[in-house]
Amino acid sequence: MIHRQHTRHMLAGLGLLATTSLGTAALAQDFNAEPPNRQGQSPAFEGQTRAPVLADETQLNSETIVDGLQNPWGMALLPDGSWLVTERLGALRHVGADGTLSDPISGTPTVDTRGQGGLLDVAIADDFAETRRIWLSFAAPREEGKTATAVATGTLSTDGSALENMEIIFQQQPAWDSTLHYGSRLVFAPDGALFVTTGERSVPDARPLAQDLGTHLGKVLRLDPAGGPAADNPTIDGALPEIWSYGHRNMQGATIGPDGALWTIEHGPAGGDELNRPEAGLNYGWPLATYGTEYSGEIVGAGNTTADGTEQPLYYWDPIIAPSGLVFYDGDMFPDWQGSLLTGGLRGQALVRLELDGTSVTGEARYLQDQGRIRDVAIAPDGAIMILTDAEDGALIRVTPAQ
């Protein structure tokens, strides 16, 4: 099953291939000086945007564990310290702790790879060592060329070469003639329910459905991992039973916080990327309220930043960073980062760290601005930070403090 490696891969596995990046906020002292996309807007409360730049002079080593990944999107840590990594073109691969890269694992679902589609996130069961069970999210082809976010589950064979008994347990309704905004992060709640984030498919006629409780577009969903809605979901008049929260644009990052609550991060339009802590049954505003503008520069809807019955983001970015991947840092390697939120920046091309006081963002720093678009972020068992870079020659990179 082991793919013939480039010498680069093997050196990475031995720890001999490492590039050092100066991960200091000083490299990005001007990010708060950039003009906003939308002039004349004011945050709803102090600290909602442009938090102080953290005076963090931490220097980082970045070691490429494996490269040659085709637009990797999601990763999941296995009990033995190795990783499952998805590639958007449809491949699921195993990356050994020594940097070995498997051939594509057979049995993955059929995906639509147009636009922002493809094979997206991966998650594993808490008892994976016994059950070998995994979940995949992806852009599923549907009738008449339409697509929709879907989730499938199955088991990984004992030799790691194949997925077995794969079954689709969720399909976003309705499907749409769009290849954009699939959302698609998978996160398990402490009670075992499976959170799934979806996008509102971007195109003008689909966008308002983020407010339509009879659809799965632009929603956080809470599922039973075997399929169907999770027990004790909120009761919302007229809502599909899987819906947890609504009024979202395109959530590509999600994680469970130290408080046990779900946190999400979503792409806004030109300005207006958001950090939220979605609560059951609440409306997060899109497209009725946003701090961004259309990519053309036109206002979104009536140009409102607030709307009755909707929640404000905990934090927003204007200009955008295009966030993807989200995790709280809880390792030993970076003691000063304990409790910080880490996210990848696609447009921002950085590892972004947010310091928090409860749910308030009190500082922001950006690192690794020489690595390209960062699609996902995770924490290794020893406290190293793992990132996936989004490129046709993408990489899984291990980030540690410079000695």
DSSP helix/strand/coil, 80: coil
DSSP 281-302: T-B--TTTS-S-B-TTSPPSTT
Tokens 């880490």 -> residue = 342
Within 10 Å of residue 155's Cβ, how many Cβ atoms?
A: 17
Q: Which of these is catalytic: 9, 181, 216, 267?
A: 181
Q: Which structure tokens are listed for 375? A: 């699609």
Q: What angle do CA 34, 39, 44 make, to 5 degrees?
A: 95
Pairing assessment for the beta strands 147-156 and 186-188 based on DSSP bridges: unpaired
Q: Is the Cα torsion angle 199, 203, 206, 207 positive or negative in sign?
A: positive
Residue 155 and residue 162 in contact, taking contact as beta carbons nearer than 8 Å: no
**The 163-171 sheet, strands edge to edge:** 119-124, 133-141, 147-156, 163-171
- Please give the C-alpha separations between residue 356 and each of 47, 110, 207, 249, 272, in angstroms, as whole numbers: 11, 40, 31, 24, 19
Q: Pick the closest to residue 343 from 372, 381, 374 (CA basis).
A: 374
DSSP helix/strand/coil, 305: coil
Tokens 């905990």 -> residue = 314
CA 175 to chain centre: 22
Active-site annotation holds for 267? no
SS3 content of the chain, % helix, strand, coil (to 5): 5, 40, 55
Residues labelled catalytic: 181
